[in-house]
Amino acid sequence: MSGFERPYWLQAALSARSTPLRAEPLTGDPDVHRPAIGQVRVLQHMDLRTPADRLGLIVDVDEHLATASVLLVSPLVEYRTAVDYLVEPAASASRMPLVVECDLRGAVWFAQLGQRVGMCDAGLAAQLDAVGGGALPDDIGLSQAGFGLPARDKRDQRWAWKLAELDALNVLTHECDERLVDADERLPDGREGLNVVDPMLFTEFAEASPAPLGDLIGLLDLVAEAPVFMPVPALESLDALMSQSSPDVQLALLPLLQAGLSGASLGQIEGPAAEWSYERPGAIGDDALAQAIVASASPGSRYASLVTAEKVWAGNEGEGPVPPHIEVSGVSRIQIHLRFIDQEQREAA
């Protein structure tokens, strides 16, 4: 026998390991940056000064709340327990085997989702999420061979590893988790969320004929119940709308103008550099709006609402409105929730 012949089982194992990475996701995900079930993404802390980056498998997405539910993912496959599932590169389009920790689940804001490093089938993500909820692998079509052995007691080094993994998850997800269970729409420390008016909102109202009074009434109701801030471009658009409106409409909009003028200093902000993480064709004053939100938010704020209307985002229907976020260089991220005033009016009717 000339040369070295590999046993068939070794050849099969090597072939599986050398499977080329897929250039496209396994499911129909046209935009690799848009959160989707099955993505393996880098998870980042909202405070840029906290080096807490980890990996997470997205198992649920809520576009309205701009949040994603994730299972923690680790490359330490040798540590997997009975609730940790081994995913090979061929099944995840990642560069290495990964272990999905089914029992470690939390919620993160879209602002925390970094680079996509892999993508598995959405059905597999749902199965792993079910295991974390108590389902037996055999009952949902998963092979038990993909899981490790139970960590029986504290003498098993995987016990301490699992506790450290739980701490790592809590660091990343506790702020978003707390907000999701907070029924009164307040931030985790009790502060009201910041509402900032989209500069394009009044421009859209001014171009409509007649002006959508129902949406304007909804905005007035919002002003009455919570602080609302308007950057200078929004005030300019409101002034233009009032100049072409009837006296009755002008009178109705007066409280809105007064509320906006109380925060008129938001137009010219000198502070930390901030940029929108998205591009919206036709938008005006995006830089000023970003600076206004950063300057208006209380120290440590992670969440704010951009009060806008669905019609302002016309043309993006195919992709859907992706809630943007702001990154303040060297300090923190602020998740921006798109609050559609016209949608709220329809739901209240």
| Beta-carbon contacts of residue 102 (< 8 Å; ≥ 6 apart) | 71, 83, 84, 85, 128, 129, 131, 132
Three-state DSSP string of 238-279: HHHHHHCCCHHHHHHHHHHHHHHHCCHHHCCCCCCCEEECCC
Q: Element (H or E) spanning 89, and its range?
A: helix 89-92
pLDDT for 190 equals 40
**Which of 7-16, 161-170, 314-323 reaches the highest mean pLDDT?**
161-170
Longest dimension (CA), the chain: 100
Q: Helix 232-243 to helix 199-207 angle, to the nearest 10 degrees?
A: 20
Q: What is the rounded distance in angstroms from the CA atom of residue 22 to the CA atom of residue 38?
A: 14
Contact of 177 with 106, CB cutoff 8 Å: yes
Q: How many CA atoms lie within 13 A of 204 on its CB side?
A: 22
Domain ranges of the chain: 18-180, 194-348
What pLDDT band is residue 193 in, cutting at 50, 70 and 90? low
Q: What is the rounded distance in angstroms from the CA atom of residue 285 to the CA atom of residue 267?
A: 9
In terms of Cα–Cα distance, which of 28, 42, 35 is closest to 59? 35
pLDDT digits (tens, 9 = 90+) for 328-342: 666 778 877 777 877
The pTM of this model reads 0.73
% of the chain with per-residue pLDDT over 90: 30
pLDDT at residue 226 above 70?
A: no
Provide the token pair at 11: 């050849």
DSSP strand pairing (54-62 vs 39-43):
antiparallel
Amino acid letter for position 203? T
Amino acid letter for position 258? Q
In terms of Cα–Cα distance, which of 303, 308, 301, 277 is closest to 290? 277
DSSP strand pairing (333-340 vs 303-308):
parallel
* DSSP, res 286: H
Order of strands across the sheet that contains 194-197: 228-229, 194-197, 303-308, 333-340, 325-328, 274-276
If one compares 39 and 245, the residue with the highest pLDDT of the two is 39
Q: What is the rounded distance in angstroms from the CA atom of residue 107 to the CA atom of residue 156?
A: 29
Burial of residue 95 (CB within 10 Å: 0-12, 13-18, 19+) is: exposed
Query: Dihedrals φ, ψ of 282, to 5°?
Result: 90, -5
Please state the rounded mean pLDDT for residues 69-90.
94
Q: What is the rounded distance in angstroms from the CA atom of residue 177 to the CA atom of residue 189?
A: 13
**CATH code given to domain 18-180:** 2.30.30.110
pLDDT at residue 278 above 50?
A: no
Q: What is the rounded distance in angstroms from the CA atom of residue 231 to the CA atom of residue 315?
A: 24
* Lowest model confidence (mean pLDDT) among 24-33, 48-57, 118-127, 208-217: 24-33
% of the chain with per-residue pLDDT over 70: 66
- The H helix count followed by the E strand count for the chain is 10, 12
Q: What is the rounded distance in angstroms from the CA atom of residue 191 to the CA atom of residue 81?
A: 40
In terms of Cα–Cα distance, which of 229, 231, 227 is closest to 186? 227
Q: What is the rounded distance in angstroms from the CA atom of residue 149 to the CA atom of residue 82?
A: 5
If one compares 82 and 276, the residue with the highest pLDDT of the two is 82
